[in-house]
Structure 1
Amino acid sequence: MSPEFILKEVTDNLAKDFPSDFLTVAKHTDLSTLAWGPLQFRAPWNVAFGRTQNSNVTVAGDAMHPMTPDLGQGACSALEDAVVLARCLNQAHTTATDNRQWVENGLKSYVNERRWRVAGVVAGSWLSGTVHQGGCGDQQWWSRTTRWFRDRYLYKFVMPKLVDFVWTDCGDLGSPFTQGVKST
């Protein structure tokens, strides 16, 4: 897809009713800075069942749980990661006897706490997007079935549960480090 096509699609269709200031900015954008890529779903199985931590190394944010934007939880999940990671490292620090062990224990706790939550948010985001868009694929029966489900059940029963699920309390960070780890 060319940058010219992207600009035309945005200004003529997607944002045609936006304020004129937005359209002016869009029309004066350097086309060499535009890029487009399709959304891709990565199933949450690697997060739920895979290895996301090895010794003193782990992944967080999009590296751990890339998700479609349909629930608006990508950045929120990354912020949750930061809070949970800091808390888990802090808690592990207070009980460890050497530097290597407390980091590893903290990362294990972080992964165990985050694993199922982020797998659920990734799956919920995909479900929400797929159903809102009327299904995926070229099969008409599937699109009709998806729209039927969306219009009769999704908004009434499923979305309230998804919205409740994305609200979370990451817990307190705990007290800051007050003393160094004992060297062995």
Structure 2
Amino acid sequence: MQTSRDISEILKQIRTQEDAGAFSEGADILAEGLYHRDPLAVREKLRRRLPQRIYLLLEEEADKFLDRKDPEGLRAFISSLHKAIEGLRALRLELGFEPTGETIDHISSWVKREIGPDIILDFGRDLSIRAGARIIFRGRFVEKSLGVMIASWIERDKEKIKESLRHAVTVRNQ
């Protein structure tokens, strides 16, 4: 019998919206496979359609049921996995660059540890963000970027900046 611990171990592997979609698609393929006469065709479809790390994990989980000839257990696992994926919450990060796998792992680990294990990342790309990120979560919006910090600094210290510029121009003109 599949336990909630097994599902939670799978959820730890879901870092992004794309991962969630791939796991959900894989669960759908496994569900179709319950009615398919050729298990190798189902494995091949998983292999062709999913990233390797997701395919291998789903194949391993499915094998636990298939080895015991327990299609009802596999059906319950698929249903539990779908429900768990639907319960995940997305934190949107808009960046000025395409994050690497290492960056995604690092951010995902931090978010799951500090905010909650049910959080996945939804990356967007905005080239106007030079350094930093725009963060959107549960209807709240925060921008932490170099441009925003500079604009804030200029607004806060505009009188000092004007005075410094006047002084620099005066010194230069003498």
- TM-score after normalising by structure 2: 0.26
Radius of gyration: which is bigger? Answer: 2
- TM-score after normalising by structure 1: 0.25
